[in-house]
Structure 1
Amino acid sequence: MKKRLYLYLLFIVLLVMSIFVGVSDIKIQDIVSLNKEAWFLLWTSRIPRTLAIILTAVGLSISGLILQTISKNKFISPSVVGVTDSAQLGILLAYLLLGTLSLTFKLVFAFGFAVLGSFMFITILNKIKFKNEIYVPLIGMMFGSIVAAIVSFLAYQFNATQFVDTIGVGSFTTKIAGNYELLYVIVPPLILAFIYMVQFNIIGIGEDFAKNLGVNYKRTMMIGLVIISMVSAAIFVVVGSIPFIGLVVPNLVSIYYGDNVKKNALDIALFGSIFVLIGDILSRMIIYPYEIPVSLTMGVLGSIIFLYLIYRRVYHAK
C-alpha cells in the first residue's frame, strides 16, 4: 500500500512539473491572477501535451501487458514484434497511393496494417513448437525487420525517405500541436482491455485451459490483438515511435507486485505514466531551452532498464 501511495505522490509531482516546465515560463501567480497569456498557453499547449503523455504511456504499457500475457513471454512488446513497423507500412502506402492525408485516414491505414501484422506474428508463433523467452523475441524482431525492410525499400523506390523519417520519430512537440484529440480514440480500447484482463490471463495459460473455463479462446485472442493494434496505431500516428515502454514497464511492476495481471493493470498504467513523464521532462531540460525527441530519451532509459532486467533474470537463474 505504501509503494502505491509513493507512486501516486510521484505522479502528482511529475504532473505539475510537466505543466510548468517549458520554454515559456508559467508561474503560479500568473495562474492565480488569471493572466490571459498564461492560461492560453496552459490550455492550448501544456495540458494537452500532458494528457497526450499520459494516454501514450498508459496505452503502450497496457498493450505490452496484453501481448506478453497472451503470448506467454515477458520479453516482447508491440514495437518488438513488428506491430509498430506494420503501422508505419500502412501510413507509407496510404501516402504513396493517396498522397497527403488527414491524420484520421492515416490512423485507418495504420490500424489495418497493425492488425494484419499482429495476426501474422501470432500465427507464426503458433506454428512454432519450440518456444522460450529469448527465441520468441528474436522471431518478433526478425518479423519486424522484414516489415521495416519493406518500408525502407518502398521509401527509397518512391523517394519518400524524408516522409518515413519524419513519422518515425517519437515527439510530444510539433506532432501533438492541434492533433492530440485523435489520441482519445484509444480510451474505449483501454477500457475494454481492463474489462477483458482476466480473460487475457486465462488464454495466456493455454487454449485447452481456456475452453475448460468457458472462455472463447479465438475471440478473446482477436479482441486482445485488435486492442493492441488500435492503441499502437493511434499512438504511432499522433506521437511517433517510443521504444521500450510496453517492454520494461510490465516487467518492472511484476517484480514488485507479482504476476496477477488484473491486479497489476492499474499499477502498470500508473508506473508507465511516471516513466514517460520523467523521460519527457528530461527531454525538455537536457539542452534547455531546446528540446530533444522523447524517443531518444526513452530509448536510453529503456535500454538501461532492459539490460538490468536481463541481468536480473540471469543472476536469479544461477
Structure 2
Amino acid sequence: MRTRRNGWALAGASALVVALLAASLLTGEFDIFSSEFGAEMFAISRVPRTVALVLSGAAMAMSGLVMQLLTQNRFVEPTTTGTTEWAGLGLMLMMFFFPSASIMSKMIAAVGFAFIGAMIFFLFLRRVSLRSSLVVPIVGIMLGTVVSAISTFFALYTNMLQSLSVWFAGSFTSVYQGQYEVLWIVLAVVAGVYVIADRLTLAGLGEEYATNLGVNYQQIVLVGTALIALATGVVTVVVGMLPFLGLIVPNLVSMLRGDDMRSNLPWVCLAGIAVVTVCDLLARVVIAPFEMPVSVILGIVGAIVFITLLLKGRHRVSR
C-alpha cells in the first residue's frame, strides 16, 4: 500500500513538472503562434531552453545531494564550497589563452578546475577539525570568495570583466540550438549517482563505518567528487552560476521523505527541475519584456532557505 501511494505521489509530482515545462515552452515575448517564424523560433530557442532547465536543474540538485553525503553536512553544495568559482576560473583561463576553443574544450577546463576545487575543499575538511557543522559552509564560501577575487583580478587585468559578469549572472537567455547539447552529458552524472547510490549512502556514514561495511571510502569519494565536478563544469559553461539550488532541493526532500538516497533520487531530480523552472519563469515575467538572470531569483530564494537552515541548526546545537 505504501509503495503504491509513493508511486502515485511521484506520478503526481511528475505531472506537475511536465505542466511547468509546458509553461516554459509557451512563455516568451516572441509570439510563436502568429509569426511565420514561430515554429523555427520554437525549435531553435524554446525547446533547447526547456531541455537545459531539465538537465541543469537535475544535475545541480543531485550534485548538492552527493556533496552533502560526502561531507556529512547539510549546508554544503557546489556554490557554498567554491566549486562553481573554480569552474568559472577554469573557463576564464581557457577563454583567455584559447579564445577560439570549442565549447567541449571549455567544458573540459571547467570540469578539471571544478574537480581541483572540490578536492581542495574535501582535503581541508579532512585536515582541519571543525567543532560545528555550521562553520563548514562558511569556510567553503570564504574559499570560493578567494577564488572569485582571483578571477576578478585576472578579468580586470585582461579586460575580460564583461565575460566574468556574464558568467556570474547565470541565465538561460543564451541557451539555443547548437550551444546547449553538451548538457546531455549530465545524464551520465545522474546514471552514475544512481548506480553507486548505496555506496554513497554508506560513505555518508563516515570513513570508519564505510570501511567496516566493505566500501572503499577513498574510491567512492573520488568518484563522487568527479561526478560533482562534471555536472558543475558542464552547467557552468552552458548556463553559468545557479546559486543554492543544490542546497535547497536535497534539504527539502530530506525533510519530507527522510535520508534514503536511492528512493530520494527521483524526487531530488524532479524538485531541482521544478525549482529552476519556476525561478526561470519568474525571471521572464517580473520585468517583461526584459528578463532577469535566473541566478537573481535563485539567490534570493536560496539565501532565505540557507539562513533558515542555519538558524534551525544553531537552535538544535544550543539545545
Pick the TM interval, shorter chain: over 0.9
Q: Which residue of 2 is the match for residue 269 of structure 1?
A: 269
Alpha carbons of 1:313 and 1:135: their partners in 2 closer, same or farther (altered >3 Å)? closer
Measured in 2, the distance between the counterparts of 1:84 and 1:176 equals 22
Measured in 2, the distance between the counterparts of 1:177 and 1:302 equals 29
Measured in 1, the distance between the counterparts of 2:206 and 2:311 equals 29
How many residues are matched?
312
Q: Which residue of 1 is the match for residue 140 of structure 2?
A: 140
Q: Deviations over 1:81-104 (max 9, x none)?
A: 111111111112222322342211
Q: Which residue of 2 is the match for residue 25 of structure 1?
A: 31
TM-superposed CA distance for 1:304, in Å, is: 2.4
Measured in 1, the distance between the counterparts of 2:312 and 2:219 equals 36
Measured in 1, the distance between the counterparts of 2:274 and 2:175 equals 21
Q: Which residue of 1 is the match for residue 17 of structure 2?
A: 11
Unaligned runs of 5+ in 1: none
Unaligned runs of 5+ in 2: 1-5
> Which shifted more, 88-97 or 104-113?
88-97
Give the partner amino acid of 1:160: M
Q: Deviations over 1:199-249 (max 9, x none)?
A: 111111111211222111111111000000010000000000111100111
Query: Quick check: 1:295 aligned with 2:302?
Result: no
Q: Deviations over 1:250-289 (max 9, x none)?
A: 0011110011111111101101111111001111111122
Contact 1:176 1:238 in 2 (8 A): no
What's the C-alpha RMSD, in Å, of the aligned pairs?
Answer: 1.9
Give the partner amino acid of 2:296: L
Measured in 1, the distance between the counterparts of 2:128 and 2:315 equals 28
Measured in 2, the distance between the counterparts of 1:260 and 1:131 equals 26
TM-score using structure 2 length? 0.92
Q: Deviations over 1:148-198 (max 9, x none)?
A: 121122222222212211222211112445311011111112210111111
> Which shifted more, 111-120 or 203-212?
203-212
TM-superposed CA distance for 1:305, in Å, is: 2.6
Give the partner amino acid of 1:15: L
Query: Quick check: 1:80 aligned with 2:118?
Result: no
Q: Which residue of 2 is the match for residue 234 of structure 1?
A: 234
> Which shifted more, 109-118 or 170-179?
170-179
> Which shifted more, 237-246 or 143-152?
143-152
TM-superposed CA distance for 1:118, in Å, is: 0.7
Q: Which residue of 2 is the match for residue 163 of structure 1?
A: 163
> Which shifted more, 241-250 or 204-213?
204-213
Q: Which residue of 2 is the match for residue 279 of structure 1?
A: 279
Q: How does 1:98-247 map to 2 (within 5 A)?
A: 98-247=98-247
TM-superposed CA distance for 1:309, in Å, is: 3.0
State the identity as a percent. 33
Give the partner amino acid of 1:182: V
Q: Which residue of 1 is the match for residue 3 of structure 2?
A: none
SS at match of 1:205: coil
Q: Which residue of 2 is the match for residue 97 of structure 1?
A: 97
Measured in 2, the distance between the counterparts of 1:104 and 1:314 equals 43
Give the partner amino acid of 1:4: L
Measured in 1, the distance between the counterparts of 2:199 and 2:303 equals 31
Measured in 1, the distance between the counterparts of 2:304 and 2:226 equals 30
TM-superposed CA distance for 1:306, in Å, is: 2.5
Contact 1:121 1:140 in 2 (8 A): yes
> Which shifted more, 6-15 or 263-272?
6-15
Alpha carbons of 1:26 and 1:315: their partners in 2 closer, same or farther (altered >3 Å)? farther
Alpha carbons of 1:16 and 1:99: their partners in 2 closer, same or farther (altered >3 Å)? closer
Give the partner amino acid of 2:27: V
Measured in 2, the distance between the counterparts of 1:304 and 1:146 equals 23
Q: Deviations over 1:51-102 (max 9, x none)?
A: 1001000000000000000100000101111111111111122223223422
Measured in 1, the distance between the counterparts of 2:209 and 2:314 equals 30
Measured in 1, the distance between the counterparts of 2:156 and 2:40 equals 42
